[in-house]
Amino acid sequence: MEPSDSDIEQRLRSTPPEAWQRLWSAYDALLAEQPSPWEIRTHTPNGALCMPYAVYSDTVNDVRRALTEVKVNVDFDWRNWDGIQRYEQGEDLAEAPVAEACRLLTMLTRAERFCDGTIGHALRTGTLQAALLRLRTWHDRTPRPPLPMPPWLTEDRQANAASPARPPTSLPLPPPPPSRFPPVPPR
- The pLDDT tens digits along the chain (187 residues) read 899 999 999 999 999 999 999 999 999 999 998 777 777 888 888 989 888 888 899 999 999 999 999 999 999 999 999 988 899 888 899 999 999 999 999 999 999 999 889 999 999 999 999 999 999 999 999 887 666 666 655 555 555 555 555 555 555 666 766 766 677 777 7
Angle, in degrees to the nearest 10, between helices 118-125 and 127-141: 70
Is pTM beyond 0.85 here?
Answer: no
pLDDT in the model for residue 176: 67
Neighbours of 136 (CB within 10 A): 17
- Is 109 within 8 Å of 67 (Cβ atoms)? yes
Among 124, 89, 119, CA closest to 107:
119
pLDDT in the model for residue 73: 93
Q: CA 44 to CA 54: how far, in whole Å?
A: 12
Neighbours of 98 (CB within 10 A): 22
pLDDT in the model for residue 154: 54
Q: What does the domain layout of the chain look like in residue ranges?
A: 5-141
pLDDT in the model for residue 12: 94
Among 99, 78, 104, CA closest to 89:
104
Q: CA 66 to CA 156: how far, in whole Å?
A: 40
* Three-state secondary structure call for residue 173: coil
